[in-house]
Amino acid sequence: MILSEIKIGKSVEGKDIRALKTKEKSPKYLYLLAGVHGDEVEGVYVLQQIIDWIELLETLGIPLIIIPILNLDGYCAGTRVNAHGVDLNRNLPTSDWMAEFSEQQFHPGPKPLSEPENEALVKLFEQYPPKFMISFHSWRPLLNYNGECKDVADFISQFNKYPVADNIGYSTPGSLGKYLPEKHDVPVITFEFPKLKKNKSLKDIWDENKVGLLKLFTSEILLGKFNNPQS
């Protein structure tokens, strides 16, 4: 077992938000995150498969922080938003954060960083600074990159054939993809899986992504970002 568990905070309803960390100390970490939106079970499932694979290894070679489910209350309720009715991916303190929202599911909260789940995430970034983030979501197949990480998106796309784009097609103020590049100069891939359908199971989604994701963790394209100080 190369991962140890740490509790990083509590949800609105008092559930312990946990993170997993590789044992080695490092100035910067690769972050893997799922369950920002509680109804996006696809990313949670895929990340759990990655965790199970990592747990079988003796070493990984990359300093890693994993948050299996950030929005625990929303995940238990099957809702996009948290228990306050806030979209955690519109609640981060970015320069473009705005109080206005078009639909209830995009409610950004009363102010930036109003939600305990995001408070826990930001404090974790301070304790274990990120170098690179992959955030797992589900909408339609897409590899959305923010910052200097198109090479990683292109690498994954070779295997799953998902489109690569630097813009998701609509505004996302207060999102993680805005926050990390702006505040920490850290690139983010928002990995959008297809939503479940009658003819597509969670296992199907994992199967179409397994090879690319697992190869990524042993690829020079990712290892180089941690071994090369200039990357």
Alpha-helical (H) ranges within 71-133 are: 72-77, 116-127
Per-residue pLDDT band at 230 (split at 50, 70, 90): low
Q: Which residues contact 227 (CB under 8 A, 6 or more apart)?
A: none
Looking at domain 3-227, its CATH superfamily turns out to be Zn peptidases (3.40.630.10)
The answer, yes or no, to whether residue 166 has pLDDT greater than 80, is yes
- Give tens-digit pLDDT for 37-94: 999 999 999 999 999 999 999 889 899 999 999 999 999 999 999 999 999 999 999 9
Q: Three-state secondary structure along 120-155?
A: HHHHHHHHCCEEEEEEEEEECCEEEEECCCHHHHHH
Mean pLDDT of all residues in the chain?
95
User: Whole-structure pTM over 0.85, yes or no?
Assistant: yes
pLDDT score recorded for residue 231: 52
- Tell me the pLDDT tens digit for each residue of 80-139: 999 999 999 999 999 999 999 999 999 999 999 999 999 999 999 999 999 999 999 999
Domain boundaries, the chain: 3-227
Q: Which of these, 70, 63, 112, 74, lies nearest to 91 by C-alpha position?
A: 112
Q: Percent of the chain scored above 90 by pLDDT?
A: 90
Average pLDDT over residues 22-27: 90
